[in-house]
Chain A
C-alpha cells in the first residue's frame, strides 16, 4: 500500500470510483467548468487544455487528474537567471523553485496540488526546521502518499524528521513529555478544536508519544538518526478518551483516527481546499461514510468531491498565491528561470515551506491591501522585459475590443465575465482618448496593451475561479 501512485494505478484504473450517495454534477461541463476544475485540482490550464479536458466529459476529466497517465515533468528543467541549475537543498529560496517547477511542469497536476494541501494540513516551516533537505524529504513523502490512506499519511508525518523537529516530538521523553505534537495532532490534524477531547487527553497523548529522539551530526551540525528509544518512552497506563491502556505512539494515532469526531473533521477540512462553500450536511455525512467505508482512503473521497455540483455551481475560490503564480507561468508557457518567485510568493502571502504557523495559511484571507498589490506587482516579473511591448516599435491598432482580446489571449485566454471585459475595454477607450499629440496617438496603444495585460490578471475573475 505504500506506493499508491505510479505503476499500481494501471491495474486500478478499471475499477469505478466510489461516490455513492454523493451527488454528481450533471450540468454542462464546458470550457469554463473544465477551467475551474483545473484551477481547483491543479495549477490552472495551459492554453487549450481546458477545451481538451471539457471534451472528455466530467467523469473522465476527474479521473484523468486523480489517476494520471503520466507523472512526467514536461519542459525544460528549472534554472536561475544565470542559467545555472537550482540548488534546492542549499540555496535560499531554491526549495521554493524546486517545487514551483513541479507545479508548472508536472503532468500529474492533482498530485502536486494534493501535496500542497498536505503541506498546509501538516504545516511545517523551515523557519523551525532549518534544513531544506529535511523539508524536501517531507514534501516527497507527502507527494508519495497524497492519495493513499490518511492513517498512512498521519503515520508518515508523525515519523517525519522535519515534523519531529517542528513540533518538538523528538526529545519528548518520559521524564519530560512535550505536549506540542500531542496537541496539534488532535487540534489540527485529526479532530479540530472543539469539545472532542480535553486538556487531560492532550497530556496523556503526550505521554503515549514519548520516546522519539535524534542525534546531531558532529561534522555537519545537522540532525541525524531519528529513532524511537524504548528507554525514553513512558510505558505507564494512560487514560485517553475514557479508555485505559499502556498506550504507545501507534495507539495515540489510532485513538485519534478512530475518535467519532474524526471523519467529519477530515471531510470538512479536505473539502475546504476545493470549495469555499461548505458541503451540505447530508453530503458531508455521505462523504464521511465513504471515507470510513473505504478504509480512510483519500483518493475515492477526492474523486467524489471533484464531481460534486458545488464545485461547478458554487462560489468561486480565491486562488492561493502560489497556485496563481504557477498558473500564470503555465498560461504564458514560461518555466522556472529566475529565483524571484521565492520572494514574490512570500510577498503575495504564500511562500511554500514557510507557512506562517502550525495551522498553515489562512485561506479565508488571501486578499488584503498588501497581497492584492503583491499579486499586481508580480505581473512585472511574469512578463519578462523582452515581452513588454515597446511603444516605439510595436504596431498596435487603437481598437479597444481587439486590444482587450490580445491582452486576454496573452495569458492563455482565461474566461472573464462580461462586466470585467467591459471594464477593460473602458480603460482602453479612456486611455486612447487621452492621446492628443500625434506621437501620443502612435505610442499609447502599445502602452495600453501593456496595461491591459496587467489588469487582466488583477481582475476579480482571475483572482478567483
Chain B
C-alpha cells in the first residue's frame, strides 16, 4: 500500500478493505470439535490500522459474513466521503446571547443587566463591533474568529417570534415558522441527495433523533457514541449469532410491510439499526487496545458533548459517508435564575469543545470539508428578571465555524435603545431561514427552493468564502 497518497479517498478506502481482508485471513476458524465456551461469544480481535488512525475490531465469523456489505459501505464511503459536511450544534434551552457577546459598550447595558453585567474588557473585544465583547469563557471562539473562521450572527431570529422553547426550536429544526412541518430542514436535503442504504448520511449523536434530521423516506442514524454501538446477546455465538443479525432485517421487513404505524416504526428502526451496526463495526474498541487519541485536546468532562464532537471528527476522518450531523450540548442554557455560574460553565465547555473540534479537523486535513453551525432556539430578554436570571426572549446568537466560513458578521448588534420590540425583546437583524438557504446554496451547492419553504422570498447572506 502506498503511503505516499495516504490522504486521498482511494487510500482510505483501500486501507479499510485491507483491514477486512487481514481480518478474514487472521481469524481462527471455528474448528470442528473446538467450540467456544458457551455464553462468552467469540473472541474479539483488534486490528490497528495506524495509517487510517482506526482500530478495526472483528467479531469472529460475523465479520466475514458481513464483509460484502461492509465492502459496499466502504465503496460508498470512498465516493461520498469527499462531499461537504454540515455539523449542527444546538445550544439547549435558549442561550443568553447578551452574555455570549455582551454589549458593554451599549449605554443601556448596565440598566438592563443590573446583576449580570460584565465589565468592558473582562473578555476579548469583538473586532467587528466596538460595543461588543466576548464572554471571558468564549475566548476560544474569539481566537477562531480572529483567524477568520467564525461568522457571527449577534441577533438572529425571525419576525413574530415565539417564546415557547418547543415551538421556536421546532421552527429552527424544520427550517420554517410552520408548526405542522414534520421533516427537518437537513432531513429534506438528505431526502434529495441521500441514498436508501446509508443511515450515516444523517447522523445524530444524541439520545433521540434530532428533528432537524428527520427525513420523509431515507434512513438516518441516532447513536450515543459510535464506540458504544454494539449488539449484545448472551448464549448465542457462531453462525446462530450471525444469522440472528439477518433476522433483524427480516423482522424489520415484517414491520415495514405491516401497514401499521407502530410496527412500521419498529421495523424501520430495526432496518436502520442493522445497517448502522455494520457501518460502525470498525469503531468498536478492540480488546486490549484503546482508541487512538484525537489530534487535539477536548475538555475532559463527564458530559457527552466533547466526546461526541471528537467522535464526529473520528468518523469523518475514517471517510464514512456522512453529510449532515446533529449534536446538542449537555448544558442547558435555560437560565431563569442565578444565571452567571452555570452559564459560564456551559459556555466554557461549549467554546472549548468547538475549538478542539476545529483544530481536530484541521489536523486531520478535513477542515475545508466541514462547517459547523451553532444555534439556539432564541435569545433571552435583555431586562434581567430579578432572580439574577433571564426569561425567554426573541432574537439570539448563532455562529458558523470553519476554515471556509466567510468569517464576517451577518446582521448586526441593533443596540438596546432602538433594537427592542414592544415586548422588550431583541429584534432580529438576520433571519435563520435566510441563513439556511445560503448554507444550502453556498455550502452544499444545491438549490434551496425544494428544501426551505418560501426560499425565493428570503434574502441571502454570504456565509461561505
**Which residues on B sit within 8 Å (CB–CB) of A347?**
224
- Among the listed B162, B206, B238, B270, which residue makes an inter-chain contact with A460, where contact means beta carbons less than 8 Å apart? B270
Within 8 A of A (CB), among B247-291: 247-248, 250-255, 257-258, 260-270, 272-273, 276-277
Q: Is the CB of A426 within 8 A of B248?
A: no
Give the complex CA separation of A358 and B336 in angstroms. 14
Find B163's partner among A202, A426, A460 (CB 8 Å cutoff): A202
Contact of A318 among B224, B266, B385 (CB under 8 A): B266
B-contact 0/1 string along A153-184, CB 8 Å cutoff: 00000000000000010011101111110010
The reply to whether B229 and A172 form a contact with Cβ atoms under 8 Å apart is no
- B167 interfacial by beta-carbon distance below 8 Å: yes
A379 to B164, CA, bound (A): 38
B167 touches A193 (CB 8 A): yes
Stretch of B33-41, B116-124, B353-361, B434-442 contacting A (4+ beta carbons < 8 Å): B33-41
Contact between A389 and B262, CB atoms less than 8 A apart: no
Q: How far is the CB of B181 from chain A (nearest CB, A)?
A: 14
User: B139 to chain A: which residues have CB within 8 Å?
Assistant: none
B33 / chain A contacts, CB cutoff of 8 Å = 437, 439
B260 touching A316, Cβ below 8 Å: yes
Indicate whether A276 sits within 8 Å of B261 (C-beta atoms), given known contacts A171-B337, A370-B224: yes
Report which of B39, B239, B248 forms a contact with A385, defined as CB distance below 8 A.
B39
Decide if B208 touches A370 in the complex (CB within 8 Å). yes
> Which chain B residues border A31 with CB–CB below 8 Å?
none
Chain B proximity mask over A13-51: 1 for CB below 8 Å, otherwise 0: 000000000000000000000000000000000000000
Query: CB-CB < 8 A to B365: which residues of A?
Result: none
**Contacting residues, chain A, for B257 (C-beta < 8 A):** 419
Size category of the binding interface on chain B? 35 or more
Instruction: Report if B82 contacts A (CB, 8 A).
Output: no
Known: A176-B387, A318-B262, A437-B33. A365 touches B231 (CB 8 A): no
| Assembled-state Cα–Cα distance A199/B424 (Å) | 11
A431 to B371 alpha-carbon distance, docked (Å): 47
Taking a contact as CB atoms under 8 Å apart, the answer to whether B337 and A444 are in contact is no
B423 interface contact, C-beta 8 A: yes
Tell me if A370 and B223 are in contact (CB < 8 A).
Answer: yes
Is there an interface contact between B262 and A199, defined as CB atoms closer than 8 Å?
no
Q: Are B244 and A454 in contact (CB under 8 A)?
A: yes
Interface segment, one of A2-10, A215-223, A291-299, A445-453 = A445-453
Per the bound structure, the CA–CA distance linking A64 and B167 in Å amounts to 39
Given contacts A176-B385, A434-B243, contact A366 B337 (CB under 8 A): no
Contact status B250-A427, CB under 8 Å: yes
For A349, the chain B residues whose CB sits under 8 A away are: 207-208
Bound-state CA distance A392–B40 (Å) is 13
A344-385 interface code vs B (CB 8 A; 1 in, 0 out): 000101000000111100100111111111001101100101
User: B283-327 vs A: 1/0 string, CB under 8 Å?
Assistant: 000000000000000000000000000000000000000000000
Residues of A within 8 A of B387 (CB): 168, 171-172, 176, 178
Interface residue? B209 (CB, 8 A): yes
Q: Which of A177, A372, A391, A459 contacts B385 (CB 8 A)?
A: A177
Distance A92 CA – B381 CA, assembled complex (angstroms): 36
Query: B231 to A377, Cβ gap below 8 A?
Result: yes
**Residues on A with beta carbons closer than 8 Å to the beta carbon of B241:** 447, 451
> Is the Cβ of A430 less than 8 Å from the Cβ of B269?
no
Determine whether B234 belongs to the interface, using a CB cutoff of 8 Å to chain A. yes
- Docked-complex contact A193 and B179, CB < 8 angstroms: yes
Please determine whether B167 and A317 come into contact, CB atoms closer than 8 angstroms.
no
A350 to chain B, nearest CB (A): 10
Residues of B within 8 A of A200 (CB): 423
Q: How far is the CA of A385 from the CA of B235 in the complex (A)?
A: 9
| Choice from A173, A359, A431 contacting B166 with Cβ under 8 Å | A359
Q: Contact check, A448 vs B262: say whether CB atoms are below 8 A apart.
A: no
Are B207 and A372 within 8 A (Cβ)?
no
Q: For chain A, residues 408 to 437, give those with C-beta under 8 angstroms from any C-beta of chain B.
A: 417, 419-420, 423-424, 426-427, 430-431, 434-437
Q: How far is the CB of B425 from the nearest CB of chain A, in Å?
A: 9
**Is A372 a contact partner of B254 (Cβ separation < 8 A)?**
no
- Choose one: B165, B209, B277, B336; the contact of A368 (CB below 8 Å): B209
Which B390-442 residues have C-beta < 8 A from chain A? 391-392, 423
Other-chain contact of B32, A177, A389, A439 (Cβ < 8 Å) = A439
Q: Are A460 and B39 in contact (CB under 8 A)?
A: no
- B166/A369 in contact, CB under 8 A: no
| With A315-B260, A369-B223 as contacts: A390 and B38 at CB distance below 8 Å | yes
Is A464 in the interface zone, CB < 8 Å from B?
yes
A190 at the interface (CB under 8 A from B): no
Q: Is the CB of A238 closer than 8 A to any CB of chain B?
A: no
A372 touches B270 (CB 8 A): yes
Q: Which residues of B contact A439 (CB under 8 A)?
A: 32-33, 35
Question: Which residues of B are found within 8 Å of A463, using beta-carbon distances?
Answer: 262-263, 265-266
Q: Mark B207-251, 1 if CB is under 8 A from A, else 0.
A: 111000000000001111000010111111111110110111011
Contacts of A372 in B (CB 8 A): 266, 269-270, 272-273
Contacts of B81 in A (CB 8 A): none
Which of B222, B236, B263 is the one whose CB lies under 8 Å from A450?
B236
Contact B386 A458 (CB under 8 A): no
B233 engages A315 (CB within 8 Å): no
Assess whether B240 is in contact with A180, with CB atoms less than 8 Å apart: no
Are B262 and A460 within 8 A (Cβ)?
yes
Which B residues lie within 8 Å of A277 (CB)?
A: 261
The docked-state distance in angstroms from the alpha carbon of A349 to that of B222 is: 12
Please tell me if A332 contacts chain B, counting CB pairs below 8 Å: no
Checking A373, A385, A431 against B243 with a beta-carbon cut-off of 8 angstroms, the contacting residue is A431
Selected contact of A430 from candidates B179, B243, B260, B392, CB within 8 Å: B243
Q: A392, B236: Cβ atoms under 8 Å?
A: no
Decide if A458 touches B251 in the complex (CB within 8 Å).
Answer: yes
- CA separation between A93 and B166, bound complex, in Å? 28
User: In the complex, which residues of chain A have a beta carbon less than 8 angstroms from the beta carbon of B175?
Assistant: none
Closest to A277 in B: B261
A368 to B244, CA, bound (A): 20
A389 touches B207 (CB 8 A): no
Residue B19 is within 8 A (CB to CB) of chain A in the complex: no
B residues 157-179 in Cβ contact with A at 8 Å: 162-167, 179
Most A CB within 10 A of own CB, among B39, B167, B263, B391: B263
* B166 in contact with A316 (CB, 8 Å): no
| Chain B residues, Cβ within 8 Å of A390 | 38-39, 235
The interface residues of chain B lying within 8 Å CB-to-CB of A316 are 260-263
Q: Which residues of B contact A303 (CB under 8 A)?
A: none
Residues of B within 8 A of A239 (CB): none
**Is residue B379 within 8 Å, beta carbon to beta carbon, of the partner chain?**
no
Instruction: With both chains docked as a complex, state the minimum distance between the C-beta of A392 and any C-beta of chain B, in angstroms.
Output: 6
Docked-complex contact A370 and B38, CB < 8 angstroms: no
Q: Which residue of B lies closest to A171 (CB)?
A: B387
Would A464 and B239 be within 8 Å (CB), given that A168-B387, A183-B164, A380-B234 are in contact?
A: no
Q: Which residues of B contact A454 (CB under 8 A)?
A: 233, 236, 244
List the A side residues contacting B233 at CB < 8 Å: 379-380, 450-451, 454
**A176 and B208 form a contact (CB under 8 A):** no
Contact between chains at A392 and B255 (CB < 8 Å) = no
- Given A318-B266, A450-B235, A464-B263, A373 and B273 contact (CB-CB distance below 8 Å): yes
Q: Which residue of B lies closest to A420 (CB)?
A: B254
B199 at interface by CB-CB < 8 Å: yes
Residue of B nearest to A181 (CB): B336
CB–CB B235/A389 < 8 A = yes
Cα separation A366 to B264 with both chains bound (whole Å): 12
B208 touches A427 (CB 8 A): no
Of all chain B residues, which has the CB nearest A384?
B234
- Offer 5 A-B interface pairs, CB within 8 angstroms, sorted by A: A366-B265, A370-B222, A377-B231, A427-B247, A464-B265
Q: List the 4 closest pairs (A to B, CB-CB), nearest first.
A: A176-B386, A464-B262, A460-B255, A316-B262
Additional A-B contact list (15), CB under 8 Å, known A376-B273, A423-B251, A463-B265: A183-B164, A183-B392, A318-B266, A366-B265, A368-B269, A369-B222, A370-B223, A373-B229, A388-B234, A420-B254, A435-B239, A446-B235, A450-B234, A451-B233, A460-B270
